[in-house]
Amino acid sequence: MAVVGTKKSLNKNDEDHSFNELLKDEYKGKKLADPVNKLEDKWELLPAFLKVKGLVKQHLDSFNYFVDTDLKKIIDANQMILSDVDPEFYFKYLDIRVGSKSTSQGKDRTQTPHQCRLRDMSYNAPIYVDVEYTRGKKIIMHRDVEIGKMPIMLRSNKCILEGCDELEMAKLLECPLDPGGYFIVNGTEKVILVQEQLSKNRIIVEADEKKHIVQASVTSSTHERKSKTYVVTKNGKIYLKHNSISEEIPIVIALKAAGLVSDLEIMQLVCGNDSLYQEIFAINFEECSNHNITTQRQALEYIGAKVKTIRRQKLSIFQEGVEAIATTVIAHLTAIDMDFKEKALYLAIMARRVVMAIHDPKNVDDRDYVGNKRLELAGQLMSLLFEDLFKKFNGDFKNSIDKVLKKPNRATEYDALLSINVHSNNITSGLNRAISTGNWSLKRFKMERAGVTHVLSRLSYISALGMMTRISSQFEKSRKVSGPRALQPSQFGMLCTSDTPEGEACGLVKNLALMTHITTDDEEDPIKKVCYLLGVENISVLDSTALHLNFGVYVNGTLIGTTRFPAKFVSQFRKLRRQGKVSAFISIYVNQQQLAVHIATDGGRICRPLIIVENGKSKIAPNHLNLLKEGKFEFDDFLKLGLVEYLDCNEENDSLIALYEKDLANDITHLEIEPFTVLGAVAGLIPYPHHNQSPRNTYQCAMGKQAIGAIAYNQFRRIDTLLYLMIYPQQPMVKTKTIELIGYDKLPAGQNATVAVMSYSGYDIEDALVINKASIDRGFGRCETRKKTTCVLKKYPNHTQDILAGMRVDENNKPIWQHEPLGADGLGEVGMRVESGQIYINKSIPQVAEPTAMNANGINQAAPAAFKNTPVVYRAPEASYIDQVMMSVSDDEQSLIKVLLRQNRRPELGDKFSSRHGQKGVCGIIVNHEDMPFNDQGVSPDIIMNPHGFPSRMTVGKMIELVSGKAGILNGSLEYGTCFGGSKLEDMSKILVENGFNYSGKDQLYSGITGECLQAYIFFGPIYYQKLKHMVLDKMHARARGPRAVLTRQPTEGRSRDGGLRLGEMERDCVIAYGASQLLLERLMISSDAFEVDTCNKCGLMGYSGWCNTCKSSENIIKMTIPYAAKLLFQELIAMNIAPRLRLSDVFAK
Amino acid sequence: MSNNNIVNIEYNRVTNVTSTDFPSYSQENAFSTIWDTEKFKENLDIEIKSLEERDCNFDLKHVDTSIANAFRRIMISEVPSVAAEAVYVYNNTSVLQDEVLAHRIGLVPLQVDPEELTWCESTAEGDEGAESKYTDKNTIVLTLDIACTRNLNAPKGCTDPKILYHNSSVYSRDLKFQPEGNQAEIFANKPVVPCDDDILICKLRPGQEISLRVHCILGVGADHAKFSPVSTASYRLLPHINIMKPFGGESAIRLQKCFPEGVIGIDEEGKAFVKDARKDTVSREVLRHEEFKSSVKLGRIRDHFIFNVESTGAMTPEEIFFKSVRILKSKAEYLKNCPISQ
């Protein structure tokens, strides 16, 4: 009531409002009892977020960061090329750019993405560098030297589509709804999937309680190397373990080697004043003193002796030890001038974490916790690859410079720039190859990763979108552990809870939720400075006794200082972040257990925006939302004003987030923008998913990607290998907010079918559907397939090339039947019908393609044009129509022909359909209109669904969809089925009643066959149905006789080879058990590979033509029929020097 | 009216649905067993409630369900009408594929009297014989030749394609009749046109054109929905409401609200009475209310069919119904003359 009071007093001040209006029950659509600050429209932030970020912004951000920032870093790190020969010579990279020259404004490329798709080219942009080098005595600067081409991510800031509006996109033949974020390499669209990894440079403590092992590990990753350092327990003692050190090093020795010579200091750093920890750790000193090691030098020598090295020049043991500590152990920390203090501290902290875990086994980290994961995106992967290629490029470049400089006398002064172009193809082809094959092989890290890229699935708009948000895990699929596959509570809002495949990749392949952002790397040093400014005591001046008394401040896992007032420090830091003084994506949180304040600036963290709450009030006020609606505010304004902030998983755990506004209390720190953002783009299509059994939503996520619908606005311009399109797609009657946000209502995949949930005809068992024939006649479920055939007219070394042979005509000057679809040029004509056996590309290849010895000099000596006809023949059960014929020239100057064949299909028996609730079924029978049941209005259903689909599946959402849809029809509105919201069932029922229908959605129906009333009320209304890509026409297969395999003479296998249907082992067992020996003989031999052989009854071997070649006689030859495979086996055995002899006798002795 | 004649609409089921009003049906209590033709003739009643060009609503009373249903089924699937069957595309540069365009043209209802055409023999579908199959006796030829051009007089800044271009939309009216043989005379005063002239067939943009010929033949709805002369033909049973206990005052108004407007009236005493049961949609809303549950009985009269025939426009709805009667009659006759029927 206090809230009401504020409203009243507010309005009293406002004289403009008439008092009478206030007395009304409702005031401007709001009830008096409503709280004033209701942020009903806070979901509007979501479209605003997506407008700024887009659905694939993580890919674009990452790629933009790579081309704008990371490339420059790589150039800086590999700046100089020096010659081993000439000490005077140097070659230096000054700057690098992608796509545009330093002089030009914007992008000066002409090739468009769609052209690349059609012409099988790669969508890329030149990489320009500015260089400085010596020529003789002079220093020369050169700008805009092209060193290769970089594949460009569509819609990134180097893409010509960036910032295009709908009209410009249309001019470039692009779909404005296409999310971008993929590459086009050799005409195929390739996506670099997001890779999930354990976070780098962080300590992870694990414990194996059975084996009493506790281990802290850290994976160090720098530009140069990757290595893993462990601190492990063994028999209660703690050791340092590293791959390049052959033995475990007692931790005290390791710490001494790192410069902590005093035992007291070690004890203080590891255990602090805690006597329990000291007790656990004390035993380790004994081990050290057993080895008699007291000085740093001794310790380093001890380690040096155990280092595994493959070095060219031998170092002393001491040097090896120094080298090991300096570069290999915890490699991400750099030691300057033998100052190992940082490393010692890091090791001590690792040891402390182990001690803590020994003391209390609960003090371990969770590998599966989302906060401990980092996502690797296209940009990072590209940067790894580019650096590798660039290093190789520079190496080759250096070699060729050395080669030239080695020559003692040169006529002119050597210009190093001349050699650069020789290698310019390496980078281009290296990048292209990696993206098109998906094999990421990096020599530096000995990394060999396959399957990084995938072909963008264009089955439907949703499948393409789903692919862009997919995250693949590095984890092995075959292992049977549930941990990494399980749904993590920390996934909330970050990763979709429903969208994961079934089967072996279940839980390993995930999808991003709707409102997520993945961070890119941020600079560490300014953050450190900020920390010191905020009163953090620098670790380098800190007394080791005081270390564990206060809270440690860690930046990206490395201790940089301590603070006595963590809460104050954190809140001050957050204040700075909200003011925009530091990057919005830097997270800070307190870990009470470890007495630590963690600050993360690294890339690959998943984070999401939340509304900031202060003193139990949301910082966003309704007027902000009004400004947003009026278009005066953007999402970034909310960020800048400190109304909204990004939290990553770790910081989320340090906050109290209210789900709804009503939950706001004083200790609440944040408010959720919209709860339905826990789902991703694909799961967002499901109406009322919160009413469904959860696996059903997961099934729908898999099936939504197979639904046929509209793919893109440019779908008719595309020439894809295989494309399924729906003729009359409809937007669903029951939408969700997500549907509107991702544009599914503009590119839908399905139709609103009127469904009667009833049993009919018995052809509907096992989820089969009964479909109304009249609906099909009128266009329900009609779809189109488009298949591409590519044909290259090759050019050969002897100046011949493939040609199109024209068309052959009969005596009436009409084309022969096979050539009917062809035009005079030998190519199919657009619009022609092509039947099985007809030719649509009449190609001929020259018979002699190699240059002969005589005319190798290049002059073609009037070689007779001998061509072999190799036409492309259409083979399919149904005829097709030629939709498009494209002739072009590919990248390598060869003529490229693409023919697109189209097929129009109406639903038939066995075609697969599904609703949006994981309820799939095939068409079981097509029923005439007059036989369909009908209701009072004369409406008969399009689909009859068997009610048995409901009890066990528990898809209540589907029922609510039906009721809402029905209400929507009667009301003339589209209803919402948004997750955790949407139109209320009660309201929908009310609409039904108001329109003279039963509240439950059940109608009284009449049988179409008898005309009588049905004895039950039938649940009747619209449900959105998707047609799935599995169609009978593509799968049907039968064979009587047909091709046989050459080797065994058995029928071939598989539909594509017109193969036979196998009577397999288990079927054979049945026949044996039944005793049907003649059937067995017929199936396994006579109908398969029966073969008549002449066997010799004397020697038992096989002869031929009535003659035994072993016995040299025809006396004992007996003809018999055996499987050809058996004959083959005998002959193979003979070839192995084993003689299988057939001994024949009568079964029924006389 | 005997109770036996009412289908009971209960809260969660429908009972007493079977109709038995046909010859040689005997029941245990056999006082009404013998089906009497004379009595049937006497009882049979048709009452036309509304009759419009496209729409017809009439009551058919006192016939067995099977007969009423037969009419409905025949109207949907067996009354012949004319629709496009073969489309010959000479040029089509629109975005719609030939097949889709043909399908759309096929579904356009045509105003052709089916009596004027003979049946087209559906012999083997060969491309050679296809042309000869169609004659001026059984085929109507329509042409569609249209090209989209820019409107040079369009005002500047205009974005409406209808103003910017000529022929930006192709409507059914653009299908032009091409008389063959003596069709010009036969159809002189009843021109062959689509029933509705504003059915959108396709949209065009400058430079796109469509040129095609359509062969329209006689067919039945059983073959393809495009030949069905009705968009819907169906019936419902007359609702019957029995208020068994008097309701007055507030509860009368509540009862009234359970039904569509005009079904329940309230008399001077404030008592509810059934004013017009015909208007009821049988939403069963009353049965949800505890107070009416046991004292209001819903039902439908089993032999009172409220037919609703909606024509696509080729024929008037009454014509369609008469044809269905004729077809049923000829079927019965055929069956009667069938040698095996004896």
Three-class DSSP category at A383: helix
Instruction: Name residues 90-129 of chain B within 8 A of A (Cβ).
Output: 92, 95, 97-100, 103, 107
Q: Which of B13, B98, B281 lies closest to A936 in CB terms?
A: B281
State the nearest Cα–Cα gap between B104 and chain A, in angstroms. Answer: 9
User: Cβ of B324 under 8 Å from any chain A Cβ?
Assistant: no
Please indicate, yes or no, whether residues A8 and A119 belong to a single structural domain of this protein.
Answer: no
A1017 to chain B: which residues are within 8 Å by CB?
Answer: 12-14, 284
pLDDT of residue A441: 85
**Residue B33, φ and ψ in degrees, nearest 5:** -70, -45
Q: Which of B233, B237, B310 lies closest to A1013 in CB terms?
A: B237
Q: Per-residue pLDDT tens for B269-281? A: 888 899 999 999 9
User: Cβ of A1015 under 8 Å from any chain B Cβ?
Assistant: yes
- The CA distance from A164 to B33, in Å, is 81
pLDDT of residue A863: 52
Please indicate, yes or no, whether residues A716 and A661 belong to a single structural domain of this protein.
Answer: no
Order of strands across the sheet that contains A1117-1123? A1102-1103, A1090-1096, A1117-1123
Active-site choice (A34, A402, A415, A767): A767
- The CA distance from A954 to A949, in Å, is 8
Nearest C-alpha in A relative to B14: A1015
Q: Per-residue pLDDT tens for A886-928? A: 999 887 788 899 999 999 999 999 999 999 999 999 999 999 9
Cβ neighbours around A210 below 10 Å, total: 6
A774 to chain B: which residues are within 8 Å by CB?
Answer: 221, 225, 228
Structural domain tally of chain A?
A: 7
Q: Per-residue pLDDT tens for B249-300? A: 888 999 998 899 989 999 888 888 999 999 999 999 999 989 888 889 999 9
State the nearest Cα–Cα gap between A1011 and chain B, in angstroms. Answer: 5
Cross-chain residue pair A1013–B221, CB shorter than 8 Å:
no
- The verdict on whether A70 is a catalytic residue reads no
Q: Which of B224, B232, B260 lies closest to A938 in CB terms?
A: B232
A993 to chain B: which residues are within 8 Å by CB?
Answer: 283, 285
**Final residue before a domain boundary, out of A677, A698, A732:** A677
Cross-chain residue pair B12–A1017, CB shorter than 8 Å:
yes
- Which candidate in B63, B73, B256 is best for mutational testing of the A interface (most A CBs within 10 A)? B73
Counting as low any pLDDT under 50, the low residues of chain A are: 1-17, 22, 27-30, 32-36, 856, 858
Residues, chain B: 342
State the nearest Cα–Cα gap between B298 and chain A, in angstroms. Answer: 13
pLDDT of residue B198: 92
The domain limits of chain B are 3-78+231-244+295-308, 81-227
Beta carbons of A823 and A806 less than 8 angstroms apart = no
What's the number of CA atoms in the CB half-sphere (13 Å) around residue A107? 20
Instruction: Name residues 723-752 of chain A within 8 A of B (Cβ).
Output: 727
- Measure CA of the first residue to CA of the last residue in chain B; give whole Å: 37
Beta carbons of B142 and B170 less than 8 angstroms apart = no
pLDDT of residue B138: 87
Does residue A987 lie in a domain region? yes
- The CA distance from A1122 to A1048, in Å, is 12
> Dihedral angle at the C-alpha atoms of A526, A529, A533, A535, nearest 10 degrees?
130
Q: How remote is the C-alpha of A1059 from its chain's centroid?
A: 35
From the list A826, A670, A784, A730, the residue with the least C-alpha distance to A1022 is A730
B76 to chain A: which residues are within 8 Å by CB?
Answer: 929-930
Please indicate, yes or no, whether residues A545 and A666 belong to a single structural domain of this protein.
Answer: yes
- Which candidate in B60, B205, B227, B234 is best for mutational testing of the A interface (most A CBs within 10 A)? B234
- The CA distance from A205 to A361, in Å, is 10
Please indicate, yes or no, whether residues A316 and A254 belong to a single structural domain of this protein.
Answer: yes
pLDDT of residue A15: 45
| pLDDT band with cut points at 50, 70 and 90 for residue B321 | very high
Report the amino acid identity of residue A531: C
Instruction: Name residues 142-201 of chain B within 8 A of A (Cβ).
Output: none
DSSP letters, A269-327, are HHHTT-HHHHHHHHHHHHHHHHTT--SHHHHHHHHHHHB----SS---HHHHHHHIIII
State the nearest Cα–Cα gap between A394 and chain B, in angstroms. Answer: 52
Beta bridge partners of A1026: A914
Please indicate, yes or no, whether residues A402 and A530 belong to a single structural domain of this protein.
Answer: no
Environment class of B170 (CB within 10 Å of its CB; exposed 0-12, middle 13-18, buried 19+): buried
Please indicate, yes or no, whether residues A727 and A751 belong to a single structural domain of this protein.
Answer: yes
Q: Which of A937, A999, A1013 lies closest to B17 in CB terms?
A: A1013
Beta carbons of A993 and A986 less than 8 angstroms apart = no
Please indicate, yes or no, whether residues A267 and A120 belong to a single structural domain of this protein.
Answer: no
Which CATH architecture fits B3-78+231-244+295-308?
2-Layer Sandwich (3.30)
- For A925: left if phi > 0, alpha if psi spans -120 to 50, otherwise beta; the answer is beta
Residues, chain A: 1150
Report the amino acid identity of residue A1007: S
Q: Per-residue pLDDT tens for B78-116? A: 999 999 999 999 999 999 999 999 999 999 999 998 888
Is the Cα torsion angle A1055, A1058, A1061, A1065 positive or negative in sign? negative
Nearest C-alpha in A relative to B238: A936
Does residue A991 lie in a domain region? yes
- The CA distance from A560 to A539, in Å, is 5
State the nearest Cα–Cα gap between B184 and chain A, in angstroms. Answer: 31
Does residue A713 lie in a domain region? yes
- Which candidate in A906, A930, A1020 is best for mutational testing of the B interface (most B CBs within 10 A)? A930
Does residue A365 lie in a domain region? no
- The CA distance from B301 to B17, in Å, is 10
Residue linked to tokens 């028996």 = A909
Strands (E), chain B: 6-9, 14-15, 45-51, 55-61, 81-92, 110-111, 140-147, 149-150, 165-166, 169-171, 176-178, 193-194, 200-203, 209-219, 230-243, 264-266, 272-274, 296-311
Environment class of A92 (CB within 10 Å of its CB; exposed 0-12, middle 13-18, buried 19+): middle
Cβ neighbours around A792 below 10 Å, total: 15
pLDDT of residue A785: 94
Beta carbons of B49 and B59 less than 8 angstroms apart = yes
Instruction: Name residues 910-969 of chain A within 8 A of B (Cβ).
Output: 928-931, 934, 936-939
- The CA distance from A922 to A423, in Å, is 57
Cβ neighbours around A445 below 10 Å, total: 16
Please indicate, yes or no, whether residues A61 and A159 belong to a single structural domain of this protein.
Answer: yes
A289: tokens are: 């003193």
Residue linked to tokens 């280092």 = A307
Instruction: Name residues 210-269 of chain B within 8 A of A (Cβ).
Output: 221-222, 224-226, 228, 232-237, 260
Instruction: Name residues 288-317 of chain B within 8 A of A (Cβ).
Output: 288, 300, 308, 310
CATH number of the domain within which A1006 lies: 2.40.270.10
- The CA distance from A468 to A480, in Å, is 27
From the list A513, A517, A676, the residue with the least C-alpha distance to A608 is A517
Cβ neighbours around B31 below 10 Å, total: 6
A779 to chain B: which residues are within 8 Å by CB?
Answer: 103, 107
Does residue A347 lie in a domain region? yes
State the nearest Cα–Cα gap between B221 and chain A, in angstroms. Answer: 8
Q: Which of B9, B66, B76 lies closest to A930 in CB terms?
A: B76
Please indicate, yes or no, whether residues A839 and A807 belong to a single structural domain of this protein.
Answer: yes
CATH number of the domain within which A579 lies: 3.90.1070.20
Please indicate, yes or no, whether residues A629 and A538 belong to a single structural domain of this protein.
Answer: yes
User: Cβ of A990 under 8 Å from any chain B Cβ?
Assistant: no
- The CA distance from A547 to A562, in Å, is 7
Count contacts between A and B (CB, < 8 Å): 108
Cross-chain residue pair B98–A881, CB shorter than 8 Å:
yes
- The CA distance from B99 to A677, in Å, is 42
State which residues form the domain around A1112.
1055-1135
Q: H or E element: which one contains A528?
A: helix A525-533
Beta bridge partners of A188: A185
Does residue A1039 lie in a domain region? no
Please give the class, per CATH, of domain B81-227: mainly beta
Is the Cα torsion angle A53, A54, A59, A60 positive or negative in sign? negative
A986 to chain B: which residues are within 8 Å by CB?
Answer: none
- The CA distance from A401 to A1116, in Å, is 82
Q: Which of A716, A777, A992 lies closest to B226 in CB terms?
A: A777
Cross-chain residue pair A774–B225, CB shorter than 8 Å:
yes
Cross-chain residue pair A1011–B69, CB shorter than 8 Å:
yes
Q: Which of B15, B17, B236 lies closest to A936 in CB terms?
A: B236
Report the amino acid identity of residue A1129: L
Cross-chain residue pair A1011–B66, CB shorter than 8 Å:
yes
- The CA distance from A247 to A306, in Å, is 6
Beta carbons of A585 and A607 less than 8 angstroms apart = yes
Residue linked to tokens 């509860």 = B251
Q: Which of B15, B65, B234 lies closest to A1015 in CB terms?
A: B15
Does residue A1110 lie in a domain region? yes
Beta carbons of A533 and A514 less than 8 angstroms apart = no
Please indicate, yes or no, whether residues A756 and A813 belong to a single structural domain of this protein.
Answer: no
Q: How remote is the C-alpha of B325 from its chain's centroid?
A: 15
Please indicate, yes or no, whether residues A28 and A75 belong to a single structural domain of this protein.
Answer: no
Indicate the angle between helix axes A694-704 and A461-468, nearest 10 degrees.
110
Contacts of A748 (CB under 8 A, 6+ apart): A709, A710, A729, A730, A731, A732
Comparison of pLDDT for A321 and B168, the residue scoring more: B168
Beta carbons of A58 and A180 less than 8 angstroms apart = no
Does residue A1043 lie in a domain region? no
Q: Per-residue pLDDT tens for A444-476? A: 777 788 888 999 999 999 999 999 999 988 766
